[in-house]
Structure 1
Amino acid sequence: MTRSIFISLPVTDLKASIAFYEAIGFKNNPQFTGDEGTCMVWSDTISFMLLTHAKWGTMTRRPITPKDSSEVMLALSCDSREAVDAMAEAAGAHGGSVDINPVEDHGFMYGRDLGDPDGHAIGAMWMDASAMSAQG
């Protein structure tokens, strides 16, 4: 079996969160979608499980962090600098926050940090792998 990651996130408005994640490039997996949660696919090995607060509460007794705090930054690789900017624009247009941290531009690597509607931190990033191997 291929190793993969399923990242579970508590969300306040499931429909709005689905729209947000679709707008930034995720695909909904209807096989794992219901009234209390949905599976949003980034790649063959990475999926986000968006869960209502009620469903989240059945999985853990730990509190949901406040919207203005961070426990983790989830970085998603993009195909180009333009794709990073497009993701940031889509995030801002669909209820998210754009550039929650300063934009990082190192020439061979470019990134912008976003917040989803619930404040979960998403890093959109692009890296020129050929430049990395040249730096050795």
Structure 2
Amino acid sequence: MTRTQGLFINLPIADIARTRAFYTALGFEINENFSDDNAVAVVLGDKQFAMLLKREFFQTFTKLELADPTKYVQSLVAIQFDDKKEVDAIVEAALGNGGGEPHPPEDMGFMYQRAFSDPDGHGWGPFWMDPAGIPEDH
């Protein structure tokens, strides 16, 4: 089985200071070793990072045209939390700091999920799940 040593999600952003302030307000740590005038490295978990790169810098990694995440969905990043309260807390923090909520919460009993978009329009899906509670027919 193939396994990775870590995860770096790269997303283009418009403003380093705004992005740093937003993710810090959500309670995430910034890894300064990977951050500079072109990037903010948000620590999502152990060896898991969101590399938020200025659009111009991000463009140097691809010949493809960058999509506007406020108009087109590039990705939806799901992040798991320990309980429903943490899911609610991060979404409420996002909403209070310039983020949006693209759809209402969903509670399926064994899984609870919400969503928020960051100030650049990237979609995040915080969720809690109890695998033991998943119905057999699901």
TM-score past 0.5 threshold:
yes
2:87 is the alignment partner of 1:84: yes
Q: Structure 1 stretches (4+) deviating beyond 4 angstroms?
A: none
Q: Matched residues in 2 for 1:120 and 1:126: separation?
A: 20
User: Which position in structure 2 is the counterpart of 1:97?
Assistant: 100
- Name 1:10's counterpart in structure 2: 12
In structure 2, distance between residues paired with 1:25 and 1:65: 28
User: How do 1:54-65 and structure 2 match up within 5 A?
Assistant: 54-65=56-67
The equivalent residue for 2:131 is 129
Q: What fraction of aligned residue pairs are identical, expressed as a percent?
A: 37
Deviation per CA, 1:74-117: give whole Å up to 9, x if none.
0000111111111111111111112x023211011000111011
Residue 49 (str. 1) matches residue 51 (str. 2): yes
Looking at structure 1, the residues matched to 64 and 103 of structure 2 have their Cα atoms a distance apart, in angstroms, of 27
Number of aligned pairs?
133
Query: Using the alignment, how far apart are the partners of 2:37 and 2:85 within structure 1?
Result: 35
Q: Which amino acid aligns with 2:52?
A: L
Q: Partners of 1:68 and 1:83 in 2: how far apart?
A: 28
Query: What's the CA shift for 1:31?
Result: 0.8
Among 3, 9, 32, the alignment partner of 2:34 is 32
Alpha-carbon offset, residue 70 of structure 1: 0.6
2:59 touches 2:66 (CA, 8 Å); kept in 1?
no
Match of 2:76 in 1: 73
Length-normalised TM-score, structure 1: 0.89
Aligned-pair distance for 1:2? Answer: 5.5
What CA RMSD, in Å, does the superposition of the two structures yield over aligned residues? 1.6
CA drift of 1:49 comes to 0.5
SS in 2 for 1:38: strand
Q: Out of 23-32 and 114-123, give the one that drifted further.
A: 23-32
Contact 1:69 1:119 in 2 (8 A): no
Give the counterpart letter for 1:83 in structure 2: E
